[in-house]
Amino acid sequence: MLQRAVFIVYLLLCSAQLFGQEQVIEGFLVDKNTKKALNHIHVLLKSSDHKLLTFKETKADGAFSLATVKDVDGAYLEINHLGYHKKIIPWTEVGLKKTIELEQKVVLLEDVEVKSRPQIRQIGDTLAYNVASFAKEEDRSIGEVLKRMPGIEVGDNGSIKYQGKAISKFYIDGDDLLDDRYAIGTKTIPHKMVKDIEVLTNHEHMKVLKNRRYTDEVAINLVIKEDAKLKLTGQAKLGAGLPKQYDGELNTILFNKKYKVLNVLQGNNIGNDLTGDFTGFNQATVLSRMGYSAVNNLLALGTVGGPPVAKSNYFMNNSVALNANNLLNIKNGFQLKSNIQLLQDKNNTNFKGETSYFSEDGDYIFDENQYTQTTEWLAALRLSLNKNIEKRYINNAFSFEYEKEDREANIGSNGEAILGSLHHQIKGFSNQLEWVPALKNGDIVQVNWYLNYATKPQTLSFSPGLFPDVFSGGVPYEQTWQHVEVPTVFTQASVGYRLPKGKLKQYYNLGAMVEDQKLRSNIAIHKAGNIADVALDSTQNKLHWNRSSVSANAEYEWSNRRLATRLVLPVSWQYTFYADPYFNLDKNQHDILFNPTFSARLRVSQEDELSFSYQRSHSFGNIENVYQGLLIRNYRTFSSNNGVITENKNNEFGLNYKVGRTIKLLFMNVGLNYKQSISNTILSNVVNDQSTQTQLIEQENIVNSYQASVGFDKYIFALSSTMKLAASWSLSDYNQFFNNEILPFQNIGYTLRPNLELKIWKQLNLSYTGQLSWMSSKQKGKVRRLDRNTFQASHQLGLPMTLFSGFHVRFSARNVYAHQPGFNDFNYLFFDTFIRYRHKKSKTDFELNLTNLANVKKFETYSVSANMQMHNSYELRGRMAVLKAVFNFK
């Protein structure tokens, strides 16, 4: 009986196998945003009671095929993969060969819960640093915390780099409040307002172009805490000290979804240079991409730059500035923004210098001492209206800038006393319109129009009159005037069409550019009570310059999961015309320019990346290369040209490797660069016992430059410390044309920059920052070799400690050392002390800042360039003490 029952069951099971119908489903998995196929992802088929029936892994093209003979009533597909949102599809809704789209999601590589370990998270191409994990008791601004984060570098001027690359945007909760002048933000925004610092790699500012074009830009985003968005906050700082010092500031901050406000009113005479807050870190780069660069300052009072110490040590100032930044998010996604900056500054400098020129025939030595007083007024206004959404981007930005500067100087040179003055005014405005809509078929149109007008009249005068042998037949006279003005109009317009679909993305662009300039200059002399122009045609310029071009550009981008490439093929026809009736100069030329670029980025692993770039640049000089009339550049130098346009051909290669280990807080980058520049002109320097003269002459000039750099950042958990190390090497081969002789030179430089933040005990920290530089300059192929070697080092050591809650002390010392064979070594030691007491009940901080306690009032340094050497001496501020109260309000 039992055998018969078993046999019947066996027959029933066999019949089920024989007559059960096999169910088959096929489909494809793709990324919802990029439409790229997703391989190696498991697709599960589960029953109505959530048991696994079968599964398959997708192939390289994203395809999968599932087959089962089991009951599929109520069954469903489940796709659950790291990096994408979980997807569940009922069996009845799958259909045959269905394309399933997976949506990317935020992935936290690791949340570090151990108290001694700072939190850092990887979210796609975004790296998020938890601010509280890196902040210390003594920190106030977000800039102080940024300096401590591995992978991030903050320069003395406030500029920010990530793994050696400068950031392109500085966002506050996703909004670009400060434009390109973000230094005021890093100095003013309290770190306690910020939850996370997000580093956005491969960043695209325009949402309509996100994931639709190649980009290697890096941006920073400050994620503001929710409770910090509720109401207006700010600080009032009042400080006074000895000798006759003051330092004051009032700031207001509001960062919510609708309004963003960062307004700062400040004034001081303690050496804090407020013009740094007006600096646009990427503006020059943007303009150069458009083929335009503003004319530099053509006139100067002296020949000496600043010393390699903190500017607060030598800047004798009296400054007041307003920096007002306001942003309003209005209806329909539009954003209105204003940035207003005003500055009034009076400062003075006092220095001595000795400049030596070395040649085969002998040496020429000039000494200089100068006391200069400067008064400066500066105003900048920027207004913008933009809309940045996934379907379109539109932005119109208008800016106006005004600057007036007056300088008066007492100069002593080679035993002669000279009074000098320099006055200039800048008036200019610009407007940029960008419109980037996405069409219904997914293609994108890009329209761009830029207009700029600027003028900068400059007047330079010296008493007694300069170069009497040149300007007055050898007869001494009372005063020399040099006036120059270069009004400029520049405009560029372009329209492009982008095909962002498929593996090969394409972009085609047509553009036109016009640049119109006039260089007007004349030299006048005051002689025997009369003022008259110098009776020499060679001292005047009435040059008209016009350059126009039309261009066509094709861009191609190809990428897969690991490799992304971009090839740009721009071709332009350029017409240049310039004329000056004083020199019977009337020239024009037509040029066809082809400047291709290629870049590639290979994702070696999840966080490692290898990138390569090549750029060929064929360009021609500007109006500064072709004026023929003499210009008095300073009390010792005058210049002219022979009317030939400079033609430059550059080839540049770059290779960079970045390593990231987010969990271990380890970042490293290695970079190699080579550039060859071939020019048809060279700058000629003619030096005698009385003066120097520069002239751009026609002569082939080849410069080869090599660079290598390494950056290493690591957070050491056992010591609760951050260690940063950057090293670089550079070599350049070039020619110097000196006193009608070609002098070939080779410069080699090495730089090492260590940085360490160490927690010694719970309430005591140690910080160290150093920079060591070796420079070798060698003349090649001459009997008398003009070889020089210099070594410079600076070491800064800080001991911040918190003695008890609310009471913080920081002792710091800085050593500056310079060595050059044949000269005395320079060795300086600076001591500073900072004390802060925080009274929590009144929300007030009391600060005492003691600087330059060793009372160093004189600083000397060397500077070497080719066959020129400078030995300079500067007056420093000396010992200072400032007591300050900081009132925090909400």
Q: What is the mean pLDDT of residues 875-879?
A: 90
For residue 145, how many other CB atoms are within 10 A of its CB? 24
Range with the lowest mean pLDDT among 135-149, 297-311, 745-759, 822-836? Answer: 297-311
**What pTM, to 2 d.p., does this model score?**
0.80
Please check whether the two domains, 2-102 and 241-889, share a CATH topology: no
- 621: Cα separation from own chain's centroid: 24
Residue 702: per-residue pLDDT: 93
Task: Encode burial over 32-67: b for 16+ CB neighbours within 10 A, e otherwise.
Answer: eeeeebbeebebbbbbeeeeebeebebeeebebebe
Q: What is the mean pLDDT of residues 138-161?
A: 87
Structure tokens at 186: 């890093």
| Dihedral sign (CA 152, 155, 159, 165) | negative
Please state, in angstroms and as integers, the Cα–Cα distance from residue 141 to each residue in 95, 186, 225, 235, 800, following that order: 58, 7, 15, 12, 16
Most confident of 118-132, 295-309, 385-399, 688-702: 385-399
**Is the pLDDT score of 220 beyond 90?**
yes
Confidence of residue 751 (pLDDT cuts 50, 70, 90): very high
| CA 210/CA 797 separation, integer angstroms | 44
Confidence of residue 96 (pLDDT cuts 50, 70, 90): low
Contact 345, 274 (CB under 8 A): yes
Structure tokens at 123: 């979210």
| Residue with tokens 């721009």, as numbered in its chain | 570
**Is the pLDDT score of 507 beyond 90?**
yes
**Is the pLDDT score of 6 beyond 50?**
no
Please state, in angstroms and as integers, the Cα–Cα distance from residue 119 to each residue in 194, 391, 556, following that order: 14, 35, 39
Q: If DSSP states are collapsed to H, E and C, what string results for 208-268? A: HHCCCCCCCEEEEEEEECHHHHCCCEEEEEEEEEECCEEEEEEEEEEECCCEEEEEEEEEE
**Is the pLDDT score of 823 beyond 80?**
no
* Domain 241-889, CATH class in plain words: mainly beta
| CA 136/CA 370 separation, integer angstroms | 43
| CA 490/CA 422 separation, integer angstroms | 27
Contact 83, 107 (CB under 8 A): yes
| Residue with tokens 């796609």, as numbered in its chain | 124
Instruction: Return all residues near 825 (Cβ < 8 A) that are at least 6 apart.
Output: 817, 818, 819
Contact 555, 598 (CB under 8 A): no
Contact 608, 602 (CB under 8 A): no
Structure tokens at 13: 């099971």
Is 2-102 in CATH node 3.50.50.60? Answer: no
| CA 122/CA 199 separation, integer angstroms | 10
Contact 836, 808 (CB under 8 A): yes
Region of 333 (left: φ > 0; alpha: ψ -120 to 50; beta: rest) is: left
| CA 479/CA 256 separation, integer angstroms | 59
| CA 777/CA 411 separation, integer angstroms | 30
Residue 14: per-residue pLDDT: 42
Domains of the chain, by residue range, sit at 2-102, 241-889
Q: What is the mean pLDDT of residues 641-657?
A: 91
> Residue 374: beta bridge partners?
347, 407
**Is the pLDDT score of 728 beyond 50?**
yes
Burial environment of residue 11 by CB neighbours within 10 A (0 to 12, 13 to 18, 19 or more): exposed
pLDDT in tens, 787-817: 778 899 999 999 998 888 789 999 999 999 9
pLDDT in tens, 432-444: 999 999 999 999 9
| CA 812/CA 800 separation, integer angstroms | 8
Confidence of residue 113 (pLDDT cuts 50, 70, 90): very low
pLDDT in tens, 459-482: 999 999 888 888 887 888 899 999
